[in-house]
Amino acid sequence: MGYRVAVVGATGAVGREMLQTLSERNFPADKVHALASSKSVGRELSYGEDVTLTVESLDKFDFANADIALFSAGGDISKAFAPKASEAGCLVIDNSSAYRMDEDVPLIVPEVNPDAIMDVLRSNGGRNI
């Protein structure tokens, strides 16, 4: 069983790199949603060498259809949509600075505190991600 992953900001440089990295590392994803603003809807993005994703509207996306949401679209977008994703049950991983100083949001840097992810997973219903 793989995960359903939403990449927010998929058309930007970091979003495209996230898609590339997920593919290269064979992340166990059953479904990957490439999300961006309405002006990018319908655009096609590569996911690895053999898969093409069609960009979906971030504004209309139902985060109940994703297990993990990777955000890289800037702080304002994260502040507007990360709470919606979290409330829908997604594990949100935000690459912006929007929540960096928020005491209720753990800051995890794999090279600094890799064990901290276990605390997040335990508080996220024990899901193994």
Are 19 and 34 contacting, i.e. CB atoms less than 8 angstroms apart? yes
Instruction: Show pLDDT as tens, one digit a residue, over the chain (129 residues).
Output: 789 999 999 999 999 999 999 999 999 999 999 999 999 999 999 998 899 999 999 999 999 999 999 999 988 999 999 999 999 999 898 888 887 888 877 777 767 777 777 776 666 554 444
Given this model, what pLDDT does residue 122 score?
67
Instruction: Output the pTM of the full model.
Output: 0.86
DSSP result, the chain: --EEEEEETTTSHHHHHHHHHHHHTT--EEEEEEEE-GGGTT-EEEETTTEEEE-EETTT--GGG-SEEEE-S-HHHHHHHHHHHHHTTPEEEE-SSTTTT-TTS----TTT-TTHHHHHHHHTTT---
